[in-house]
Every structure is written in structure tokens, then in C-alpha cells.
Chains A and B, each alone.
Chain A
């Protein structure tokens, strides 16, 4: 493996966003993943989402653990600081980073082994704390980087490439995220970019803990007959509950829809989550109903995707910490050090 700097050839006709950036400005190094790996599609979706949202690339902090999925932050947003930490511990590193500077956008990328196996604890606790972040698990049901062992999200009965059948119950990260209090929960599929890009956009504009489970087939180790995380299997069993559009600013409705078909959810920052319902009885603002629905459909063998839950007025870790508005990393000596006079008073109290 080696690093290949990507030539930046700006075509004069490339479309630009409100900041004057082209999509190229959101790209990173050339991927070293296998051709056809689902993870690369997710990187492309992240690039698209950041471009669409007119984000300044350097205001994003990209964090990850270890795995093929965790390598991807090198392959998008090359002008951002990135941090490939240790296996399963991205959430704690991201939490610390977020505490230090509340003004950046935190994008955590992880794998199913990274988050559901070794890092299940950190996954859970970062969501419980409501860290303001977009947390994406690129879920392929295996450990790609270590060559195809089952991960904890692998379905019971799913077949490994070498023929072994997985005997253990899978961990459903979406179900856990809902139960743990994540305030934005979605599931996508790397093979459906139209669905995934708005899910990521909505998550980035969400002011709390946003979690996306993105099924992302591993073409090298888990894309065969008998696997429940292959492209074919996921396409066949994918049941989207809604289609999302993220609209910034004013949101005129252009296409005609039947009554009750559309629902706008306005997030705290003014962004509008416009949902076209595919299942008329699905209410993505009802956490308990969402959990029940997911359990039911899972039992029926469906892979439910879409924006599954959103709390439009989320809280976050800084709110519960009651930290000052200025990022902690910008506080200076005067704000931090009480000084000699205060110390003399401390001394006096200790005699």
C-alpha cells in the first residue's frame, strides 16, 4: 500500500457550490480499497453531502477506528484534519475532540467490527451522551481488513465465504442506537446513493448524536450466495420507510403529492427534513413506535432503511456539560488560570 496524491485537475465547467468549491475540493487521496467495495460508495456520498451543504472542508474533523471502513477518511475531505485512532475507540476520541472545540463538524466513520464487536461499549456510551456528531458504521457483516471473519452484526445463519454458518445472534446497531437515545437514526445502503446522501446531510445538520448504519457489502469476503450482507441480498430485502430530502432555507414543494404523503420535520438549525412516506403508518418522530416497527419487520426478514427516527430539538453533550460558548481550546491564560491572589486564598483555607 502506498499513498497516491490525487492530481487536482479542475475542469473549468465543474459545478461549484455556494462557497465556490467543486466536488473535487471535497475529495481525498485515492482509495486503496478493493474495486467495488461498498465503503468507497459511502465516501462518495459523504463528498456529495458536504458539497451540497456548502461545508468548508477544513471545518470538519474526520475520526475513525481501525478497519477498511476506518481507512476511508483518508479518501475524502483532504483539506480536513483526520484521525485514524485505534480499533473500536473512535467514539471516545471524537467525544474528547468535540469537547475541545464545539464549533467543528464531527464525522465519525467506523466498521461493524469496530463498533459492534470491539467497540460496542464506546459506540453505546457516545450515543448515550448525545455527542454532536455524525456517526456512520459501514456495515459489511465481516472484518474486511483481517480477511473475512464474522463480525457481531453478521446475521445468524449467514454463510461465510469459506462455508461456515454464523451461529450467533446479530447485534442490531440501529435498534441499540434508538434505545440508547441517539436523536437521529437512519439506515442506508451503499448501493443506494440517492437515499444515502440526504441521510448524511440530515445527520450533519442535526445538532445531536446522529447515527447511520450503512450496509456496505464487502466484495472480497461477504458478497456471495448465502450471505445476508451481499449486494443482491440487500437489494432484495431492502424496505425503505421513506425517502428523505434535506432542504436548506425556504422549502417550496414543487412536485404534487397526495394528502399525507409528505412530511416536513424542521430541525433546530432551520434545515428541513422533507420525508416522502413509503409506509403511511411510519412516524419517524416516535421513538418507541420506531423500535417496535423495526423489530416486527426484522422478524419478517426485511432490512428496513430510511430516516428511522429524528428528534428535531435534540440536546447535546455541551448542553448537559453547560460549557461556555467559546470553544474550550480557545480559552486563554486569563480565562483558565486563577492566579496568585486566588492561590493565596486557597492556601489560607488550608491552615
Chain B
């Protein structure tokens, strides 16, 4: 353990740091190194890549949030800017909070006008050091990143041992590389110790707040969830930010789904020719009794519409992971949003409604990733899991994945050859149990019983084609009944009551959760008390409507322009628009605690959302 907590500066509690880099320069691993070293000191962090839609050349940022309270959302503002990219210098410098720090490569002197008077400037001649130490230009570029991590470790009091260990782990089996990285790290660290005032006002003290939490991205987590959920067929078409979900599935399948005796695969992954084919394959596989999914983003969702309607109407399970990005159209492909809520809930023409799940972090991506398959099988319809770029592509600190070994796949109502043989009545669209959910058979089940013709045209309870209005209505009503039944099976919302009885509430979902938690705390500190409910699924559980009924006003926090979840609440819950106050963040960056705090604080007085006096006895 190093030193004691230097509590003098309150700011170290909420250190936040932004690296500015050039995409493709090889600095991603230095960023990871920096982030992980803080984690290994037991200090919770939240890190985010902010990058444009190209491979190399345009600036990218890597942002690390360090918070003594353990807040994992984006806070907003910058305390320490590591400005490595000349292109974005002015913007980077402008973003620093007053009293904050600017770290830069001081090899080339910059005019005074390029700085600000109200910030602390830390210059390290990185290029000069690299040029002196290395002859190879590639090495110069590569080690520059490690050198600045070294300098930062001195400035922020990161334990050198932690970084040494991480480098050893990273270059396991490549001792020479490990050694040269260690050297570069110490070069930066030693220079800073000798030439700068270390540590600065922001410093890190070892903590025990990380606990057994894990640090992982949501796409990998969802891919792992699909493995645990028993998915065997994955069909997908590459699109940012969902690609790493299919790749995650493949990575975990290689590890867990390879038949030991033969080396053969207990799964199939097809990179389809487009999203139409992806969802078509999912539907074909599910129809035939395998668990199948696709992963995509907004444009893919648009292409899948017709098939989603087939999945709904012909009642074939399908699982669709939608890692949302900023739309419409190609929109901002590498920016985050929650703007596919309506597109998912009502996908396809005609009257349709689908199950939609909203994971808040990678841990829930895993859980819901597995659960989606049970729901799809049980309710024989599309299930959307709505991630977004922020959860999907960034590493998040979250509770470890958990699994109960007694859990079994719920394959839903599947009639077996034995049951058919025993004379059980089989009507593919017959509501035998009164819950709207019919029985199905897998192709090839029985030589003479249980076969039926699947179609997207209307049919009667025994799967016979019909255009008779009464039979059609009967079927559409049953589909509604089925949707109603699903309410009790989808993940329930999670309520967080305010410290005092509150007249107003707030609804939120998905990746807004971390920032919301922090904003609630800040609001509470100012005397604004809000009951909060995190929605986890559509159809809405009765708890959601109860929650709204219990409050005069309810803020609905979303990352889209049109308040899509609010629209869904109004439509499905019959709620008066005036009671739902939208709080909308949709510039493509992840929502911040400061934004929510300010937006609600702004509206709270107008809406009379001050705490109620303690209720009289």
C-alpha cells in the first residue's frame, strides 16, 4: 500500500481525465493500461472511447472517470486533459474545468495565447525524450504512449508496481517487449519525478471500493449471455457498434462450445449478406428448434422490418440485439443514442408489439442476453435487447456475472412426439391454456401428427389458411392476450425511493442508469427528492403504471430527441402527456450526471417538485 489518502484536495475524489489521441496510433493499449492500473488500486473507474466513424486519422478521445463515490456514469467537464492531438488543441484546452490540469507534449514551444490562465499546465517533452531514446520511428510512436503513462503515474500517485504487473501480464511470453515497455514507463515516471512537482492536486489513493466487480464491455457480455442462454445459431452482418457482440459470441463459443473429442462446433455463425438474410436465418433456425439470434444496429433494424412481422404473426421466436447508435439514417455511426425504442417496440407493418429489454450495464447485458432466449421461446415472438454504443463498446465496471447451475432453458410450449402419439389435440394457433400462448411442434417430430404449414398469411387455430374476419380477429386478440401474459415474465422495473416522500418521480432506462444515480444524489443534496424507477422491459409491468399514478409529475430521462419511451408510456399506459416531463439528451455523447442534474433542477421549481413535508401522523 502506498501512502495515505491525501484528502486535502476534494477534487481527487472526482478526477476525470481525457486523453486526446489519433485513432490508430496504437495508444488504445496505453489508455487501457492507465485505466486498469487505477482499477487495480481498488478505485472504481468508468472509461469511454469517443471516436469517429473511420479507422485512422481523425481524433479520438479516451475518457476515464474516477470517482471516490464510485459513480460510473459520465459526469461532464474535465479535470485533467492529456492533450496529445494538435488538431483538437483549442477545443481540448477549452474543455478543462477552471483549476484543472493540462498535460501536453512540450517538445515544441507553444505561444502563451494557446493556454489559459485559470488552469495548471504540465509540459513533458515526450517527443524529445522518444527521439533521444529510440531510433526507429515506429518505436518512437509506440513508446511515447507508455512514457506519458509513466509521467502520469508520478503525477497522480499511481503505484508503479501495479503498472509493472499489468505490463508483465500483457506481454506474457514476450519478455523482451515487456522489458522495453517497463523501461519506457520508468523513463516517463523518472522524468516527471525529477522535473515536476509530484504529485499534483489530483491524486489517487488505494481503495477497496472495486471489490469483486468486473471490467467488461456490454457487447462481450451479451455475447456471453447468448452462450449461456443456449444460442446455437448466430447470423449477422457487420455494423458499428454491434459487430463486437457477434465476435464476443464467437470468442466464448470457441472456448466453451467446442466438442472436446472432435474439435467440432456446437454452434454456427454465419456472416450473412445483409440484415434481411440475418434475421431470415434466425427465423429459419428458430422455427426448426434451435436458439438463434442476430446482432445489429439501427440501419439493420430498418431492413429487418418485414421479417420481424413474420416472426410476430407466424409466432416464431427471434432474438435481436440492437446496439443503438445515433440515427436517423446513417446518422452518427460511432455515437450513442437510445433512439430505436419505438422502432423495436412496434417493428414491422400491421399491428405488432414486441418484447423489448433494456439492460443498464454489461452485467444485465449478460443476464438479459441469456433470458431473451427463454422469453422468445416461451412467447414465440421477437425479443429485442436494446443496448447502445455506450454500454456495448465501452468497458464498464459492474457486478460479476452470475449463474445458477440449476437453471434450465425454458423451451416454451413444444409438443413432443410422445404427446402427439398420446392423442393430445394439436392446434398450432389454439389457445389451449388460456394465456394466449399456443403450442408448437418442431419439423420432423412425428410421422403423421403435428405437421402444419407456417405462413405469414392469416390462418385459423389449426393453421389453415383463412381470410375470414372472425378467425383473423380471434387470432389477433389471442396475440394481445399473449402480450399481456408476457408482462409478468419480462424483467420487472427496479424502484429506488427517495429519502423523503416525494411528489415527483423519474423514469429512466438502459445506459442512463449510472449517470442517473449520480444525478439523483446531487439533486437530493440540494433538497430535490425524487422517487426513481428504472424500466427494464416492454411491455410495461403494472409497477410502472402504479409508479406514475403515485406521482404528480414524472420525469422521463432518455437519450433521444423525441422522447420515445414517453410516447410508448402514453400510448400503452393511457397516460396524460402533461404528467410525463421529458429530459432528453441526444447529441450522441453518453448522457452525463451534470446534464440530468441541471435539466431536472431547472424544471423542478416550475413543477413544484420540492419535497413534501413529512406526512402528518
Contacts and interface: CB of A to CB of B under 8 A. Distances in A.
Contacts of A333: 230, 408-409
Interface in B226-272: 227-228, 230, 232-233, 235, 252, 256-257, 259, 262-270, 272
A100 B282 contact: no
Interface stretch (B334-342, B378-386, B440-448, B530-538): B440-448
A343 interface: yes
Contacts of B307: 86, 89
Given A84-B456, A338-B256, A121 B273 contact: yes
Contact of B443 (A74, A104, A340): A104
B401 interface: yes
A121 B268 contact: no
Among A61, A89, A92, A101, residue most surrounded by chain B Cβ atoms (within 10 Å):
A92
Among A59, A84, A93, residue most surrounded by chain B Cβ atoms (within 10 Å):
A93
Interface in B188-242: 212-216, 224, 227-228, 230, 232-233, 235
A80 interface: yes
A58 B451 contact: yes
Interface stretch (B21-29, B117-125, B461-469, B578-586): B461-469
Given A58-B446, A101-B444, A121-B277, A96 B284 contact: yes
Interface string B422-464: 0000000000000000000111111110011111110000001
Interface residues of B, number: 75
A325 interface: yes
Interface in B266-310: 266-270, 272-274, 276-290, 292, 306-307, 310
B290 A101 contact: yes
Contact of B292 (A56, A100, A121): A100
B465 A328 contact: no
Given A3-B465, A100-B288, A83 B264 contact: no
Interface string A309-351: 0000000001001111100110101011111101100110011
Interface in B137-194: none
Nearest to A59: B444
A333 B231 CA distance: 11
Contacts of A79: 447-448, 451
A322 B270 CA distance: 12
Interface in B450-497: 451-457, 464-467
B602 interface: no
Among B224, B233, B263, residue most surrounded by chain A Cβ atoms (within 10 Å):
B233
Interface string A86-102: 10010111111111110
A157 B288 CA distance: 43
Contacts of B230: 331, 333, 336-337
A236 to B, nearest CB: 38
Nearest to A73: B453
A50 to B, nearest CB: 14
A328 B266 contact: yes
Contacts of A346: 224, 252, 401
A129 interface: yes
Nearest to A74: B453
Contacts of B465: 1-3, 74
Contact of A84 (B266, B268, B455): B455
Given A321-B265, A351-B214, A81 B452 contact: yes
A197 interface: no
Contacts of B132: none
Contacts of A2: 465-466
A99 B259 contact: no
A96 B285 contact: yes
Interface in A91-130: 91-101, 103-104, 121-122, 124-125, 129
A63 interface: yes
A207 interface: no
A85 interface: yes
B302 to A, nearest CB: 16
A133 B281 CA distance: 15
Interface in B528-571: none
Contacts of A74: 453, 465
Contact of A336 (B232, B447, B451, B456): B232
A103 B292 contact: no
B287 A129 contact: no
Contacts of A343: 228, 401-403
B157 to A, nearest CB: 21
A322 to B, nearest CB: 5
A78 B287 contact: no
B418 interface: no
Nearest to B256: A338
B9 interface: no
A82 interface: yes
Contacts of A95: 270, 277, 280-281, 284
Nearest to A95: B281
Nearest to B220: A350
B215 A350 contact: yes
Contacts of A73: 453
B57 interface: no
B404 interface: yes
B453 A103 contact: no
Interface in A239-262: none
B501 interface: no
Contacts of B86: none
A71 to B, nearest CB: 9
Nearest to B213: A351
B351 interface: no
Please give me the 5 A-B residue pairs with the lowest Cβ-Cβ distance, nearest first: A96-B284, A92-B280, A100-B290, A96-B281, A81-B443
21 contacts: A3-B466, A73-B453, A78-B451, A81-B451, A83-B287, A92-B272, A97-B284, A99-B285, A103-B444, A104-B444, A322-B264, A323-B268, A324-B265, A325-B262, A325-B264, A336-B232, A338-B227, A340-B404, A346-B224, A351-B39, A351-B213
Interface of B: 39, 212-216, 224, 227-228, 230, 232-233, 235, 252, 256-257, 259, 262-270, 272-274, 276-290, 292, 306-307, 310, 400-405, 408-409, 441-448, 451-457, 464-467
Given A328-B232, A337-B228, 11 more contacts: A84-B453, A92-B276, A99-B270, A100-B285, A121-B277, A322-B265, A329-B285, A329-B289, A336-B409, A337-B409, A339-B403
